[in-house]
Amino acid sequence: MAILNLENVHKHFGGLPAVDGVTLGVDDGEILAIVGPNGAGKSTLLKSIIGVLKLTSGAIKFENVDITKMSTHRIRQSGVAMVLQTPRVFPSLTVEENVMVGAMFGKKAKTFSEFEAYDEAGAMLDFVGLRDKSKLAVDQLNLHEQRQVDFARALTGRPRLLLLDEVMAGLNPTETHASIEMIRSARDRLGVTIIWVEHVMKAVMNLAERVVVLDFGKLLADGRPETVMRDPGVIEAYLGKEVLPDA
C-alpha cells in the first residue's frame, strides 16, 4: 500500500524546472533511494514533500491526505520527518535537550507531557546508541554523532515517513556502516518508511530496496538497485561506470 504519492510534481525556480513532472508512489515500509547528478532536483523533491518548498504544480498525498499546501509544521505533525547533510542541532544545548525539541514538535507532540517527552527522547537516544552522551553539549560531538542526534530528534514523535538528504556524506567506513544499520532498524523496528537521497553508491547498493534516478528533474529509472545500476541510460547520465554491491 502506498504511503506517499507524488502526482505530476513540478517545482520551478524563476521559470527553470528543478523538478519536472515526477509521478511516484512509495510503499509503506519501503527503503527507497533517490540518486542522480548534482542539480538533478533530489533535494528540491524532498523539501517539497516536507513542505519547505511549495510546488509550482502537481500534488503530494501522504497517507491519502493531500499535503501539497500544508505548512511544514503540520506535515511534521502528520508524521513526516527529515534529516539533512548538515545536522540541525542547537550546539549549546545538551544531546538530550536537542532530542526533546523533536518530541515537542513531532507526530504525538500534542499528547506528550513534559515527562513523556523526556522519556521519548531517552528511548530514541537508546535507539541511535547515544544514551551515554545524553548530558554532553552537542558541540562536543563529532559529525557522525551530531547526525545521530538529528536522527533521534527526527524519530521522536514516531514519524511514519523519514526523509534523508545525503546523511552519509563525510562519514568514515565504520560510521557509514553504523548509519546503514541504524536506518535499516528504523524501518524494521519502528516501521518507518525511508526516502533517502544519497551519493554514496556502495551504501545505496547495501541498503536500498528500490532506487529511483532523477536527471534534470525527471525520473530516468525506477527499480531494484542491481537492475537500475546496470541500466545503460543511468550509467551514461550519472554513474560513468557500473556499480557493484561490493565494488
Applying CB under 6 A, does 149 fall inside the site for ligand ATP? no
Q: How far is the CB of 150 from Mg ion (least distance, A)?
A: 16
Contacting ligand ATP (CB under 6 A), which of 8, 27, 39, 172? 39
User: Which window, 39-47, 110-118, 151-159, 228-236, contacts ligand ATP (CB under 6 A)?
Assistant: 39-47
Cell triple for 105: 514538535
Applying CB under 6 A, does 38 fall inside the site for ligand ATP? yes
- The angle at the Cα of 90, spanning 86 to 96, to the nearest 5 degrees, equals 110
Task: Count how many residues are written for the chain.
Answer: 247
Distance CA 169, CA 184 (A): 18
Q: Binds 176, which of ligand ATP, Mg ion, none (CB < 5 to 8 A, cut-off by type)?
A: none
Distance CA 88, CA 146 (A): 8
Applying CB under 5 A, does 43 fall inside the site for Mg ion? yes
Four-point Cα dihedral 30, 228, 205, 214, nearest 10: -70
Q: Which residues contact 50 (CB under 8 A, 6 or more apart)?
A: 72, 75, 76, 80, 82, 163
User: Which window, 32-40, 145-153, 182-190, 218-226, contacts ligand ATP (CB under 6 A)?
Assistant: 32-40
Applying CB under 5 A, does 44 fall inside the site for Mg ion? no
Nearer to ligand ATP, 17 or 129 (CB): 17
Applying CB under 6 A, does 6 fall inside the site for ligand ATP? no
Query: Which parts of this chain interact with ligand ATP (CB under 6 A)?
Result: 13, 18, 36, 38-44
